[in-house]
Chains A and B, each alone.
Chain A
Amino acid sequence: MAIDVDIHRTLAGPHRPFSLDVRFRSEHARIVLYGPSGSGKSLTLRAIAGLVTPDQGRIVVHGQTWFDTGQRICLPAPARRVGYLFQDYALFPHLTVGQNVAFGLGADWRNPSRRSLPEAARHWLAAFELDGLTDRYPWQISGGQQQRVALARALAPDPQLLLLDEPFAALDPPLRARMREHLLALQSRLGLQMLMITHDPSDVEALGECVLEIREGRIDADARTSGVTG
């Protein structure tokens, strides 16, 4: 379960160009990218998901090359099969909770029907105790429920890597602690590798198996050796 990232990208910033220079390799199940806002964490996560294209470098996940400028390989986002939990969840406001969870289960041109949800969608709705909310719209449920919907939606298509963008930032502290435990239990039960970005030290403490510190677009810890902590 190795993830090998070595990417470079320069962006025009408001004052001076921002340059991302990220290199790490890890075989841990729970990797945490820790750093202040504006350090390039989100950009790194988006590059791994295939939502932005680095100028140069390579990304190899579980032995599969997703991106390599040398070999001219750039797998499009849909082909990478990652689960992505967005910071503000990015739930589809025109679809019900059930349709949101079923969204990634069919890739054709029509949204899932409200009436007959696929088996996998119903499984994940039940696993996250969302059965009672299936026909509600995202704006009709609480923030904690929205996060569970987003997580169920990300996991339903059976991703090979879970990417989490500040997953607990929008929750209040007691709920945050509970969701951390929930995520930890879920991760170990599924055996799914996850990469999380955060600026919250408690996230690092609770979830980080391998912690990489990122500062001004650079990862300055050499995590090529195992068990490095920030």
Chain B
Amino acid sequence: MALDIWQPLLLSLKVALWATGLNLLLGVATAFALSRWRSRLSHLLDAMFTLPLVLPPTVLGYYLLVLLGRRGAFGAWLEHWGINPVFTWQGAVIASTLAAFPLVYKAARAAFESLDPQLESAARVLGLSHLAVFFRVSLPLASRGIVAGALLAFARALGEFGATLMIAGNLPGRTQTLSVAIYSAIEAGDEAGANTLVVVASLTCIVVLLLAGRLTRGHTPQRVV
């Protein structure tokens, strides 16, 4: 059986990139909102947003199926518009995004909360709107923490297995990511194929880590006064 390595590898990279990009928007926005908004409810929300980190991925997958499946509340509405994310690569993106969300959210929140509030006050007094303060002061100063979180999220999304398998399935060439393909190869008794895929997965992760190291080192040194 000829094993295609490129298909699952490229699919994994595509899914992980999408999941990281989506989490950069969602995770950073959520983290900023919750770092500024103090109420009893915000503790509950914080716990909920951290949940995907500790829940078994199969539980996440089950929730997604219930929500997005044809008979799910949201799924029925999507169906109405002709969208069905189950058994598609977009479904894999949703699963990976959910699984990796807490990594960006937690890192961004810690970064926003460690900012000196005086700097934002200074920017306000100098004439900036709240949104301009965010883009010119808060975001750049929190960027290192956010980038670190995003790299972890990318690695997590790349290795996502449980939730992906449940929502996107295991369709070779369509939804079979690298980690799912390894599982399939072993199930089918294709040890040589599994070995190749494992080496590819390991090399990919090493490359990601090396890139991450370079990216963080390449920053100009910024010591907070």
Interface of A with B (CB < 8 Å)? Answer: 46, 49-51, 76-78, 80-84, 86, 88-94, 103-104, 107-111, 137-139, 146, 153-154, 157
Contacts and interface: CB of A to CB of B under 8 A. Distances in A.
Contact of B127 (A46, A78, A146): A78
25 contacts: A49-B121, A49-B125, A51-B125, A77-B124, A77-B125, A78-B124, A86-B121, A86-B122, A88-B118, A90-B119, A93-B223, A103-B123, A103-B126, A104-B126, A104-B127, A104-B128, A107-B129, A107-B132, A109-B131, A110-B135, A110-B136, A111-B136, A111-B140, A138-B225, A157-B127
Q: How large is the interface on B (under 10, 10 to 19, 20 to 34, 35 or more residues)?
A: 20 to 34
B210 interface: no
Given A111-B136, A139-B223, A90 B118 contact: yes
A85 B180 CA distance: 58
Given A93-B225, A108-B132, A81 B127 contact: yes
Q: Is the interface of B mostly helix, strand, loop or mixed?
A: helix
A104 B122 CA distance: 10
Q: Which of B116, B129, B141, B225 has the most CB of A within 10 A?
A: B225
B125 A84 contact: yes
Contacts of A82: 125
Interface string B207-225: 0000000000000001111
Interface string B99-122: 000000000000000001011011
Given A78-B124, A104-B126, 18 more contacts: A49-B121, A50-B124, A78-B125, A78-B126, A78-B127, A78-B128, A84-B125, A86-B122, A88-B225, A89-B225, A92-B119, A94-B141, A104-B127, A107-B127, A109-B135, A109-B136, A110-B136, A137-B222
B137 interface: yes
A39 B65 CA distance: 59
Nearest to A80: B125
A106 B132 CA distance: 10
A199 B124 CA distance: 26
Nearest to B132: A109
Contacts of A90: 116, 118-119, 121-122
